[in-house]
Amino acid sequence: MTTPRKIGIVGGGTMGSGIAQKVAQSGLKVVLMDVSDAQVQAGLSRIRSMLEEGVKRKVFAEGEPDRVLARITGTTKAEDLKDCDLVLEAVFEDLGVKRKLFAEVEKHVRPDAVLATNTSSFKVAAVAEGARHPQRFVGLHYFYHPAKNRLLEVIPGKGTAPAPLASAWAFAEATGKTPIHSADAPGFVVNRFFVPWLNESVRLLEEGVADLPTIEKTCKDLFGIGMGPFELMNVTGVPIAQHAAAGLASELGAFYAPCELLKKQVASKKNWDLAGEAGTRGAADVERRLLGVVLLVAAQLVDEGVASAEDTDIGAKVGLRWPIGPFALANQRGIAGAVAAAARVADTYGLPLPRSLAERKEKPVPFALKAVNLAVEDGIARITMNRPDVLNALDPDTVAALETAFNAAVADGKVKAIVIEGRGKAFVAGADIKFFVRAIDEKDIPRIVSFTRKGQELLLAIDRCDKPVVARVNGMALGGGAELALSCDAIVADESAVLGFPETGIGIYPGLGGTQRLVHRCGIGAARYLVMSGDILPAAKAAAIGLVDVVAPAGTSMSVVKQLLAEKRVKAGPGPSGLAKPTADKARYEKIFTDAGTAALMDGSFAPADKEGEKLKKKIAGKAPIALRMANELMQKALSLPVEKGVEEELASLPRIFSTEDARAGLGSVGKGRPEFKGR
């Protein structure tokens, strides 16, 4: 598998320019092609405007627009795509135009270049028909706005070879997307259930089941969303809903066809009138119908092999920003009632009930949705954290799922090595903060201790495993995520990854072995720096202090992991493999964070020698004082205790730290602003 490093994008419109922006932001080179220089310049102008708006909103640093645009070359000539590793078309939805475009592109690109289509209307196989090398065609279906929306559907066409598909997946990861698998089927994954959801909402209005405001509010309440179907159509364009429904109907039948009221609304060239107050008449019927439609179609997807239940839910949560996916919603609302609602819709429209629903009609068992995936290939077990919508946060269920997957990998005689990785933009972004807050508010600190003990037992098992275990940090590894990585024999990080221990900034300390393994791996000075400053380090800086073993170019970390394992450079058993090569950065923190220097930083008497020292003093002054003190005491103990004893010390102190006012204030502040610590 080769990770594409130079990307050709054909089409400088809203989608094409947005994709080009995201790819260039990720550090890859881009060739942006369109039919005229005016259109190329318009695309580049869109990108600059988006980036400059981001600078104003402090999303990007000053100078970022110039840095990103420096990676993009505009052209009107297909021959300028000759050195591209992957070429993606994002032109308008005309099958003839797309085929003609690729016929021209194939004359100029390398034989091993991947060719990708962003189509939402046609099958990938249809776009590739007549191509010289259809085996290298894939679908990469982006969602609006492609520079912001993290979802990317990855679709093999008929006959797509494994290598181009793997390269496309690596490209998705390298550009910070959350990829999901889809078969080459109408609507792929998300549009297959989203479009009927829109259409059925209009049918409900057409049939007089409820008025528009009631349908809007019922949808918002049921699916937990900010905009109902009618407002969404107004924002994205009412004709798009009709076009998408007609496209699905042409392939899948009358159930998907746009209803008459939707066609009339498009003909009027007006948006939906959202005025009026929601009532209760028909609300229960609206809820049942829309839950039934979404679950029915989602189950069709799974039964047909288009997508897994997990990927379907991820598509809803990441692509549509629904807080809950169709299958999890069915579990939440009650399987018996949800299946009955889907069965009623199926009967109404003369559709067969998918097997997965028919089984649950007889025996209402909730859908089992995997929080952690396990796959074994060529002797390597890949354990993938599978909650990208919540950045793979650790909660009791996720820890239990990780334990199950890890134990299965250990017990499998075919497995020679284990890799732990995250899906989406995070490896693991830490523990589930809501879990901690609920436990504190319910005065159930023992629940936190029990959860942490389970986590520590698992991390000790990973630490002691007699098979090499590698953390492939392909995104954020914060708090508990960084502690999970520390329990592995080696840490390989993508260059775009970040690692850190922000706990003292939210009133607690690292409790999954972070105060212990950090000292053993990086030394007391660097450990104190990481825990007390809360700095989030890019992979290269983390490597400079010994936290990361190897930094891989974006999208290549799995290849690097395989190479290390093949060369048997990862040592199994307690402690790291010794691959890290810290630089002078580590020595600097050893000088600053002596016992005396640490005490001075905590009591405010530290005298900075330079601007960096001043920043460090200010950062530590903003942390929770009790958490700082307890973390330092625990790190000091790590100097004389083995990890097994040190984590017991962490556990013993948990009731005290989670009982402080600072812990509640800090944990409750996440996502809301900087907390004010009182030291009590």
Which residue type sits at 482? A
For residues 671 and 668, give the distance between their C-alpha atoms in angstroms, rounded to a whole number.
8
Residue at 536: amino acid letter: I
Please tell me the distance from the alpha carbon of residue 307 to that of residue 180, in angstroms, as a whole number: 8
Kindly state the helix (H) or strand (E) to which residue 550 belongs, with its residue range: strand 550-552
Q: Which residue has the tokens 């003190």?
A: 629
Count of alpha carbons within 13 angstroms of residue 152, beta-carbon side: 30
Burial of 161 (0-12, 13-18, 19+ CB in 10 A): middle
**Active-site residue, 483 included:** yes
Examine the residue annotation and report whether 503 is marked as an active-site residue of this protein.
Answer: yes
Please give the Cα distance from 118 to 139 (Å, whole number). Answer: 6
Q: In the chain, what is the straight-line distance between the N-terminal and C-terminal CA atoms, in Å?
A: 54
**Does residue 108 have a cis peptide bond before it, meaning omega lies within 30 degrees of 0?**
no
Q: What are phi and psi of 627, to 5 degrees?
A: -65, -40
CB 425 within 8 A of CB 354: no
- DSSP 8-class letter at 394: B
Angle at 88 between CA 85 and CA 94, to 5 degrees: 150
Which pair of structure tokens corresponds to residue 413? 């005689």
CA-nearest of 133, 100, 255 to 192 is: 255
Tokens of 129: 């028909």
544 in helix, strand or coil?
A: helix
Distance CA 525, CA 598 (A): 9
Q: Are 160 and 137 in contact (CB under 8 A)?
A: yes
**451: nearest Cα among 665, 651, 664, 662:** 651
Radius of gyration, CA atoms only, the chain: 27
- The answer to whether the beta carbons of residues 614 and 608 sit under 8 Å apart is yes
Please name the residue that has the structure tokens 């679908």: 139
- Is residue 526 within 8 A of residue 588, CB to CB? The reply is no
Which of 84, 92, 120, 85 lies closest to 34 in space, CA to CA?
92
Q: Quick one: DSSP state of residue 86? A: E
Provide the 8-state DSSP code for 489. S
Q: Which of 89, 216, 421, 483 is catalytic?
A: 483
- Nearest of 530, 535, 509, 507 to residue 518 by alpha carbon: 530
Which residue of the set 503, 590, 648, 676 is catalytic?
503
Give the pair of three-digit tokens for residue 121: 């209307």
Query: Each residue of 29-64: b (16+ CB within 10 Å) or e?
Result: bbbbbbeeeebbeebbebbbebbeebeeeeebeeee
Q: How far is Cα of residue 204 from the mean position of the Cα atoms in its chain?
A: 34
Q: Please classify residue 566 by burial: count the beta carbons closer than 10 Å to its beta carbon, then call 0-12 exposed, 13-18 middle and 19+ buried.
A: exposed
How many Cβ atoms sit within 10 Å of the Cβ of residue 615?
13
- State the catalytic residues: 483, 503
